[in-house]
């Protein structure tokens, strides 16, 4: 039977306690009991920081005796953690394990929003963060295997001889890693069954002859950010976006959601009115963020369609047309005006239809409103125009329709010239 989640309060987290015998083969059953604790009184636990991957949930673990499917990369991590936890000669600081894919009910949107909002506290509270970099490189003689390996141990594997391989792993280019690494009290890096302290890794990287390469510089950036004087210090939104702009997410909305815990009080309070919220589209997240950066952070001159670094860091399409319309939409909203109005707008549906309003004025213009807006960013432009006009006391429907017709005429003129 499949494991069934029970709801938990906002300030609580689920933790896993290892159960059953020490796993010894790839056919071993990984078993845990599930426990709920207030996050501020949780027992000693390790929080797993890893790249979840995109494959199917092909492996099964036991939670309170019930089945839960997880991806193979997380299964491998848990396999080696259980070996450490049950090893008679290895002492670990933690009693419990936290992993997002298991400890958060991924099918409950409300819980996911709440738990993602608390991720910074989860990683800063953990006695240790487990940085899972994956398995050791496959030896030459097993490269022919068709199925991905679940466990690999190379005798004689040495960190000093594998620095380049470690630095090139996708772990370091994941946006979520930024807060997970920077907020951790202590980090234990794992590669298959070998583990070492993050400071040991940083030492080898800084002394490597190729330390000026991009991959190694990324690790050094984390090392510098984890300096004792910097840990716990919040930073302005734009600084984080630019410093870790190369780190991306499979879900582009997480380019903002993943760094919320690192923001200074002002930025966190302002953006916290909207984020994290996985009912918002990526375009909505971008428009709200750009509007805030320009109007309340003193970066008006930095926010334009030519602001490549900022827009790249937000995961925006390189299309100049898309960027122009997102910038235009951000100019027409005020993030402090009406959070409920902005958050409730469906940025996906706007481009394809506009509801039939009941007023006589809206009925008179209903045929005009049925015209195609072309794409999602066109919808953002429409919303921004209407919202801005409402703030200025003008009739948004009449004015927006006139603007729309003018925009369409301009698009046709440009198309004829091509």
pLDDT in tens, 284-300: 999 999 999 988 887 77
The mean pLDDT value for 214-239 works out to 75
B/e letters for 81-110, b = 16+ CB within 10 Å, e = fewer, are bbbbbeeeeeebebebbbbbbbbbbeeeee
* More confident position, 374 or 345: 345
Provide the pLDDT confidence category of residue 386 given band limits of 50, 70 and 90. Answer: very low
Length of the chain: 418
Q: Does residue 341 register a pLDDT over 60?
A: no
CA distance 377 to 357: 22
Mean pLDDT of all residues in 268-285: 91
Give pLDDT tens digits for 79-135.
Answer: 999 988 876 566 788 999 999 999 999 999 999 999 999 999 999 999 999 999 998
Position 24 scores a pLDDT of 81
pLDDT number for residue 181: 92
Task: Report pLDDT digits (tens) over 303-325.
Answer: 876 789 999 999 999 999 999 98
Q: How far apart are CA 49 and CA 244, in angstroms?
A: 17
- 85 is written with which tokens? 């936890």
pLDDT on residue 22 = 83
Give the whole-number percent of the chain exceeding pLDDT 70: 73
The per-residue pLDDT for range 4-60, each reduced to its tens digit, is: 999 999 999 999 999 988 888 888 899 999 999 999 999 999 999 999 888 889 999
What confidence tier does 370 reach under pLDDT thresholds 50, 70, 90? very low
Q: Residue 24 to residues 28, 31, 121, 191, 193: CA-CA distances in angstroms?
A: 6, 13, 34, 17, 12
Residue 219 in this model has a pLDDT that exceeds 80: yes
Average pLDDT of the chain is: 79
Secondary structure of 379-404 in HEC code, one letter for each residue: HHHHHHHHHHHHHCCCCHHHHHHHHH
CA distance 18 to 31: 6
> What is the residue-wise DSSP string for 88-140?
TT---S-SEEE-HHHHS-TT-HHHHHHHHHTHHHHHHHSSEEEEE--PPPPPG
Best mean pLDDT range from 145-149, 173-177, 380-384: 173-177
Listed in sequence order, the residues at least 6 apart from 343 whose beta carbon sits closer than 8 Å to its beta carbon are: 273, 274, 277, 280
Q: Between residues 395 and 369, which one has the greater pLDDT? A: 395
- If you search the block for the tokens 């009080």, which residue do you land on? 265
Distance CA 329, CA 20 (A): 56
Average pLDDT over residues 55-79: 94
| Residue pLDDT, tens place only, 173-210 | 899 999 999 999 999 999 998 899 999 998 888 888 76
Distance CA 312, CA 285 (A): 14
Greater pLDDT, 129 or 136:
129
Nearest Cα neighbor of 77 from 44, 103, 52 is 52
Query: What is the predicted pLDDT for the residue at 102?
Result: 98
Report the SS3 class of residue 31.
strand
Quickly state the pLDDT bin for 142 (edges 50, 70, 90).
low
Identify whether the C-beta of residue 355 lies closer than 8 Å to the C-beta of residue 369. Answer: no
**Which helix (H) or strand (E) segment is 33 a member of?**
strand 31-38
Chain-centroid distance, C-alpha 7: 23
């Amino acid at each position: 039977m499949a494991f069934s989640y029970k709801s938990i309060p906002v300030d609580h987290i689920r933790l896993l306690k290892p159960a059953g015998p020490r796993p010894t083969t790839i056919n071993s059953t990984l078993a845990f009991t599930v426990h709920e604790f207030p996050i501020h009184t949780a027992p000693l636990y390790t929080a797993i920081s890893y790249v979840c991957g995109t494959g199917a949930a092909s492996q099964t673990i036991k939670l309170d005796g019930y089945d839960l499917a997880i991806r193979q990369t997380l299964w491998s991590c848990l396999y080696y953690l259980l070996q450490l936890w049950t090893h008679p000669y290895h002492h670990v600081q933690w009693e419990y394990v936290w992993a997002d894919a298991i400890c958060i009910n991924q099918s409950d949107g409300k819980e996911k929003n709440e738990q993602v909002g608390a991720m910074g506290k989860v990683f800063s509270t953990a006695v240790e963060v487990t940085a899972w970099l994956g398995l050791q490189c496959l030896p030459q003689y097993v490269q022919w295997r068709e199925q991905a390996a679940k466990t690999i141990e190379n005798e004689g594997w040495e960190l000093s001889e594998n620095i380049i391989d470690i630095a090139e792993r996708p772990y370091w280019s994941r946006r979520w890693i930024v807060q997970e690494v920077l907020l951790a009290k202590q980090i234990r890096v794992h590669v298959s069954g070998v583990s070492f302290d993050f400071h040991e890794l940083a030492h080898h990287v800084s002394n490597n002859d190729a330390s000026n390469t991009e991959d190694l510089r990324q690790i050094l950036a984390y090392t510098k950010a984890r300096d004792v004087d910097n840990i716990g210090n919040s930073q302005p939104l734009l600084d984080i976006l630019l410093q870790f702009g190369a780190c991306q997410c499979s879900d582009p909305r997480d380019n903002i959601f993943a760094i919320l815990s690192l923001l200074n009080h002002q930025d966190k309070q302002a953006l916290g009115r909207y984020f994290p919220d996985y009912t918002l589209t990526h375009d909505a997240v971008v428009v709200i963020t750009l509007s805030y950066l320009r109007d309340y952070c003193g970066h008006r001159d930095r926010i334009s369609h030519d602001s490549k670094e900022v827009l790249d860091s937000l995961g925006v399409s390189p299309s100049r047309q898309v960027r122009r319309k997102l910038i235009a939409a951000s100019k027409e909203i005020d993030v402090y005006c009406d959070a409920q109005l902005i958050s409730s707008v469906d940025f996906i549906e706007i481009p394809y239809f506009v509801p039939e309003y009941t007023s006589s004025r809206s009925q008179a213009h209903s045929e005009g409103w049925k015209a195609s807006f072309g794409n999602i960013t066109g919808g953002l432009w429409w919303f921004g125009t209407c919202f801005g006009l409402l703030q200025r006391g003008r009739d948004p429907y009449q004015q927006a329709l006139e603007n729309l017709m003018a925009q369409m005429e301009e698009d046709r003129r440009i198309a004829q010239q091509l």
